[in-house]
Amino acid sequence: MTVMKIAGAQLGAIQKAESRESVVKRMIALLDEAASKGADMVVYPELALTTFFPRWYMEDQAEIDVWFETEMPNAATQPLFDRARALSIAITFGYAEKTPDGHYFNTSIVTDRQANIVGKYRKVHLPGHSEYDMERAFQHLEKRYFEPGDLGFNVWRNEGVIMGMAICNDRRWPETFRVLGLQGVELVTIGYNTPSVNSQMSAEGLEKRLFHSDLSLQAGAYQNSTYVVGVAKAGNEDGHPLMGGSIIVDPDGFVLARAVTEEDELIIAECDFEKCAFGKKTIFDFERHRRIEHYGRITSQTGVIVEV
């Protein structure tokens, strides 16, 4: 299959008290809408099953574990998998994963159209901090609750398309897209939960955040000649606003579809994966033009080192 209709299923706010079962019902409603529009695949956000819990400081491990899934699918998510199978639609979504040996990751999975999980990704670039910060207006404790992903940036041939995944902050790092691009990726799906305007941020600040999100996704798409689908969790979660701005980007970096609300909202675009070939073979042609002898710093150091 070289042409697919890809839908981005933006989710509005999920409150702390909202159950996974109620969220899954919302996800299924968007899945049904996508089916009515002929979608072949639906992309959901990061941590799609719960509120963005890293905004709260917790010390009790049992309190933390409540937010994590120990298997996928599980009782709460099985109806989503069953519906996707019945509709013959592939899906990808993010969740908090606790492994059998006690490791904690910010994870996403992708299925085929028979609802079989064909790929798993664990978030590599964790933002935020690990201890309570008295100076912050709100906490961002991903480094407290998650370990950096240990699976790397992989791709899977799924439904005839080479697919890769990333999560939220990963989209701001060009290395994410380049490693996927060097494996011939044709579709990158990225879910995110990004804070929006608050008491210390103007409307202009929100506009800049949306611009930077767009910039990251569009640049990654163009520079690696791949479709990119970035899907947000949005709206006011227990007093903590998240921005929307979900978009679908083509291999030339142009936005094909954009969400206009901060609610549950479906965006959709027809993606012709033959269009990835021109950039890969003609505009960039990595094999002919990359000069890896000059790129050593990218993997030999982390922070900036000034030598002049």
State the chain's mean pLDDT as an integer.
Answer: 95
Let me know the angle formed at the C-alpha of 67 by 66 and 68, rounded to the nearest 5 degrees. Answer: 95
Q: Where does residue 246 fall: left (phi above 0), alpha (psi -120 to 50 degrees), or beta otherwise?
A: beta
CA 99 to chain centre: 20
308 located within any domain: no
Structural domain total, the chain: 1
CA nearest to 96, candidates 64, 118, 124, 58:
64
Q: Is the pLDDT assigned to residue 199 strictly greater than 60? A: no
Kindly write down the DSSP assignment for every residue of 107-123, as one continuous string.
EEEEE-TT--EEEEEE-
67 located within any domain: yes
**Three-state DSSP state, 114:** coil
236 located within any domain: yes
CB-based contacts of 16: which residues, under 8 Å, 6+ apart?
Answer: 51, 53, 237, 238
- Active-site residues: which are they? 46, 123, 168
CA nearest to 23, candidates 40, 43, 53, 44:
44
306 located within any domain: no
d(CA 107, CA 130): 18
305 located within any domain: no
**Looking at residues 127-142, what average pLDDT do you find?**
87
Can you give the length of the chain in residues?
308
Predicted pLDDT of residue 132: 87
307 located within any domain: no
pLDDT in tens, 18-61: 999 999 999 999 999 999 999 999 999 999 999 999 999 999 99
User: What range does the domain containing 282 cover?
Assistant: 3-300
CATH of the domain at 208: 3.60.110.10
